[in-house]
Amino acid sequence: MADTRTFPSQITLESSPHWADHAAKRVISFWGVRDSYTVASGITPSGTVHIGNFREVITVDLVARALRGLGCKVRFIYSWDDFDTFRKVPKNLPEQEMLTSHLRQPISRVPDPRGVAKSYSGFGIMAFEKELAAVGVQPDFIYQHDRYSSGAYAEPIKFALENREKIAAILNEHRSEPLPSTWLPTAIYCEKCDRDTMEYERYPGGWEYAYKCSTCSHEAVTDIRTTRNLKLNWRTDWPMRWAFEKVDFEPGGKDHSSEGGSYDTGKKIVKEVWGREPPVYQQYDFVMIKGGTGKMSSSSGELFTVAQALEVYPPQILRWIFAGHRPNHDFSLAFDADVIKTYDEFDRAEAVALNPALAATDKKWAMTRRVYELSMVDGHGDGHGDGLAHQPYRAPFRELCNRLQIFDGDAQRTLDRHYLGLVKNEADRGLFFDRAKRAWNWLQNFAPEEFRYSLEAGRRNQTDFTDLQHAALKALGNLVNEVDLDAVDPKELNQLVYDQVVHGSGCDPKEAFKGIYQKLIGRDQGPRLPGFMKELGRERLNELLGAWN
């Protein structure tokens, strides 16, 4: 029966089923209709910025795109908390002794142990900003070391100090023991040794701030307006910035989202101290690595970066993976055999997104299409479908992996042998070579052993085989040059192999196939031989069989 369903030509974002569009509508509903909204993200670059950190920024990017799709202007800010304290030396870095000597200093003033960036924090910042650009995320970056050191936050710091009792009362609601009466919502780095290890800190009032360093015994009274060393602690800093930057939406990790966590106290502080409503909030959960050790940690050095993910996944598929998961659900990013499944699922989703008739229901099409739109690197995910009219050719990932190994990773020879009739234009050609590059990276660096093989041309001597295996290999060489491998049916070829190679040589079948696979790929077993022979083709088989032809 013909499919008589009709589908919209594009999604109406007001009725989109995607969580990012729902979040955008929550922002507009909460703050009212305005010309512009501010969405925010940020992190402390305490080590390598990893793919788990990416979940926060892509969450904000997707909501920013959704807001733009509804006709709103959006200011997307990303704060680098590079004025935070260097508390722990990651195990995966060089110059461990040098780094240890800089503990308790701001990470923006710790040298880069690699000698590449201006500072320890600068290396991670530089790398992550480049990665974000590659996946189409382009926020306005704010560097908190510059903000604090320039005096931009002098007024808010003084205001927080004047309201310290109110802030302490809010924090005490979630503490088993109240903060001491001498508590301040601030921390200061010593102007002599750059450490935050203080014997005391005091606020006499006005613009003065007094401290004594317990590391070097330096004692001073400094001016809040001119010091480059004073900052607010995290629980006060976050709500202060919501008010200062007029943030309308910001997500937070599971660790910030629990009862009594930093968002819970922050929303009360920003409302009761700064007199502003907290931003619309979205919790996001952890990203695991399939086959990894669990939660990633910059300070431990056990992590995967966006750059590593891009070795296996192109930017569009990486965006698609994140856009396809609700942010408050954990998920695993595959680097194991499930990479094949991920590529296959993306290819099917793309086909459905660009051809509604392939969808089971209009509701499923709407979600598939919206996730696909949000995966586009150069677009804004605005629902207008720019650049989505034609489905490109995508070489099936598993098949491509097998064929690349036939030609030792040579994508051009693979294309010439198998895909010339399918790759029809320059766009398809570019996508083919891009996928081939990432498939080869996966095979070389991440694929399970059973997916890998290396053709053995010229690597094995005739003395490695028994006389009967010699005969089987000779018979195989004759068969290769007698039959049209491109035209022959695999079942027919299989029968010919048994008749002419196995039985014709008199070799035990198990030993015959063992000898053939040892000669071709250096293993006792391998892919089903008839299909593998057709994939290899006559020219490549003749190269591999060499002396037996």
How far is Cα 218 from Cα 213, in angstroms, rounded to an integer? 5
In a domain, 511, yes or no: yes
- Residue 87, number of CB atoms within 10 A of its CB: 12
pLDDT, tens digit, for every residue of 242-256? 999 999 999 998 877
Nearest CA to 136 out of 378, 374, 385 is that of 378
Is residue 2 pLDDT above 50, yes or no?
no
* Packing angle of the helix pair 529-545, 467-482 (nearest 10 deg): 100
Is residue 476 domain-resident?
yes
User: In the numeric block, which tokens belong to residue 218?
Assistant: 């330096």
DSSP state letters, 264-305:
HHHHHHHHHTS--PPPEEEEE--EEETTS-SS-BTTTTB---
Angle ∠(307,111,199) on CA atoms, nearest 5: 120
Domain holding 487: CATH number?
1.10.10.350
Beta bridge partners of 205: 208
Query: Is 102's pLDDT higher than 70?
Result: yes
Kindly report the average pLDDT of the chain as a whole number: 91
SS3 213: strand
State residue 461's pLDDT score: 67
Beta bridge mates, 294: none
Residue 19 falls inside a structural domain: no
By CB neighbour count within 10 A (0-12 exposed, 13-18 middle, 19+ buried), where does 425 fall? exposed
- Residue 471 falls inside a structural domain: yes
Confidence at residue 4, expressed as pLDDT on a 0 to 100 scale: 39
Q: What is the pLDDT of residues 348-392, one digit of tens each?
A: 999 999 999 999 898 999 999 999 999 999 864 544 444 456 789
Q: Is the pLDDT of residue 297 over 60?
A: no
Give strand ranges (E) for 10-84: 36-43, 73-80
Cβ(473)–Cβ(548) below 8 Å? yes
Taking the mean position of all CA atoms in its chain, how far away is CA 224?
40
Angle of helix 397-406 relative to helix 529-545, nearest 10 degrees?
20
Of 10, 7, 8, give the one whose Cα is nearest residue 382. Answer: 10
> Residue written as tokens 């000698």?
115
> Whose CA is closest to 141, among 153, 156, 126?
126
pLDDT of 299 > 60? The answer is no
| CA angle (71 as vertex; 65, 72 as ends), nearest 5 | 70
Q: What is the pLDDT of residues 440-457, one digit of tens each?
A: 999 999 999 888 888 875
Is 484 contained in some domain?
Answer: yes
| CA angle centred on 307, ends 387 and 73, rounded to 5° | 45
Rg (CA), the chain: 30
As a whole number, mean pLDDT of residues 467-481 equals: 94
Question: pLDDT grade, residue 491 (50/70/90)?
Answer: very high
491 occurs within a structural domain:
yes
The size of the chain, in residues, is 549
Range of the domain at 487: 462-548
Least confident span in 12-16, 220-224, 253-257, 483-487: 12-16
In terms of Cα–Cα distance, which of 128, 52, 60, 57 is closest to 287?
A: 52
pLDDT at 293 over 70: no
pLDDT average, residue stretch 340-345 = 98
User: Stretch 10-18: mean pLDDT, rounded?
Assistant: 71
Token pair of 404, please? 């690349």
Does residue 492 fall inside a structural domain?
A: yes
Confidence at residue 48, expressed as pLDDT on a 0 to 100 scale: 83
If one counts the domains in the chain, the total is 1
Looking at residue 13, its pLDDT comes to 63
Instruction: Give the pLDDT band (50/70/90) at residue 71.
Output: very high
Q: How confident is the model at residue 8 (pLDDT cuts 50, 70, 90)?
A: very low
Q: What is the pTM of this model?
A: 0.89
- CA-nearest of 378, 319, 280, 383 to 24 is 280
What pLDDT was estimated at residue 324? 97
pLDDT band at 547 (very low <50, low <70, confident <90, very high): low
Using alpha carbons only, give the angle 411, 414, 418 rounded to the nearest 5 degrees. Answer: 145
User: Whole-angstrom Cα distance, residue 131 to residue 145?
Assistant: 22
Q: In sequence order, which residues have a C-beta less than 8 Å from that of residue 217 and are 6 or more positions away?
A: 199
**CA dihedral (44, 45, 51, 57) positive or negative:** positive
Tell me the longest C-alpha to C-alpha distance in the chain: 100
Residue 334 lies in a domain: no
DSSP 461-530: -GGGS-HHHHHHHHHHHHHHHHS-TTTS-HHHHHHHIIIIIIIHHT--HHHHHHHHHHHHHSSS--S-HH
Quote the pLDDT of residue 46.
Answer: 86
Residue 300 confidence (pLDDT) above 70: no
Helix (H) or strand (E) holding 342: helix 338-354
